[in-house]
Amino acid sequence: MIELDKVAVRYGDRELFGDVSLTLEQGSFHFLTGPSGAGKTTLIRLCSMEMQPSAGQVRLFGKDLADLGRDGEARMRGRIGVVHQDSRFIDHLPLSENVILPAAVSGETGPRVEQHLSELLSWVGLTGQAESLPPQLSGGERQRAALARAVILSPDVLLADEPTGNVDWDMSQHLLRLLIELNKLGKTVLCATHDLNLIRQAKSKVRAKVLRLTEGRIEVAGAGL
């Protein structure tokens, strides 16, 4: 689904990554962990086409990111859903319009999309908040809404950047259950998190690989996680 081949990312004289390789296979579930500042968000941005590597290749569904062009990138974006750490809502639009926005931007509208929106809001438990504005929502509600928005186009891959970073343990468990449900439907999931307890909880419910990003390299975490 997504491949990073000997990828490097540099900011001026500073090298954040060097020679990083990663393969996200169809239907796999990966956790990405590592110390603050290691580059977890940067790696998510590479996988979601928000940035290009300084060196190496990023391949999406067998195609080199550098060769896609604007139209190719637009088509790929419908296959990759992203839950950003900061939600990125438009505060003057109600929740329902924020969730359906990716579909509207891609030109997908009509009864089928409206039905999907209704189902997604029910799935994340936010039917009653459909007309609420983002500032009126709690942190947990915002994260669940962000997850619904990320899958409104039924993507093949879901990238989640610290989706439980600003919520309590019960809500973290709820969000984890939703991610596992998506994976069991065949979605490829990459979840960046610093919460090792959440990872341990997940590994009792889903076959997940844990990747640790540290000192510019990715390694598979040991069995203790």
Average pLDDT over residues 140-167: 91
The answer to whether the predicted template modeling score (pTM) of the entire model surpasses 0.85 is yes
Say which range, 38-47, 135-144, 177-186, 212-221, has the weakest mean pLDDT.
212-221
Mean pLDDT of the chain: 89
CB 151 within 8 A of CB 120: yes
At 14, the pLDDT band (50, 70, 90 cuts) reads: confident
Average pLDDT over residues 177-184: 92
User: Does 222 score more than 70 pLDDT?
Assistant: no
What does DSSP say about strands 157-161 and 188-192: parallel, antiparallel, or unpaired? parallel
CB 143 within 8 A of CB 99: no
1-79+157-225: which CATH topology? Rossmann fold (3.40.50)
Per residue in 107-122, pLDDT tens? 887 788 889 999 999 9
Rounded Cα gap, residues 134 and 132, in angstroms: 7
Say which range, 11-20, 25-34, 44-53, has the weakest mean pLDDT.
11-20
Long-range contacts made by residues 198-205, C-beta under 8 angstroms, separation at least 24? Answer: 198/164, 198/172, 199/31, 199/33, 199/225, 200/225, 201/173, 201/176, 202/29, 202/31, 202/176, 205/180
User: Does 129 score more than 90 pLDDT?
Assistant: yes
Residue-range domain boundaries for the chain: 1-79+157-225, 91-154
